[in-house]
Amino acid sequence: MLQIFLQGFAVYFIIWWMTLFAVLPIGLRTQADDNDVVLGTVPSAPARFRAAFVFSLTTLISALIYGLWYVCDTYFGWGFDALPQLAPSFY
């Protein structure tokens, strides 16, 4: 039971991490956009990082993706084993 939970958590964490990089630029305002570049920073640095918004949106989107994956794997049997083999088998 613990192994199944850890496998599910590992898949969710990978989905969450990849989704984070897709969500980061959403609604981003740079220092150059606000014409307030702090000395010693690049103009493309965020003017105000909204961590709560980014992390909550990332969690919501990842939960939807994970739920879709879970339904496809559990009810339809379309898991990772159903993907075509892309690399040749050497054994």
Secondary structure (H, E, C), 26-44: CCCCECCCCCCCCCCCCCC
pLDDT of 64 reads 98
Alpha-carbon distance of 26 to 91, in angstroms, equals: 45
Residue with tokens 């339809």: 76
Q: Say what the pTM is.
A: 0.77
Alpha-carbon distance of 24 to 20, in angstroms, equals: 6
Q: What is the pLDDT along the chain (91 residues), one digit of tens a residue?
A: 888 889 889 999 999 999 999 999 998 999 999 999 999 999 999 998 899 999 999 999 999 999 999 998 889 887 777 767 666 777 6
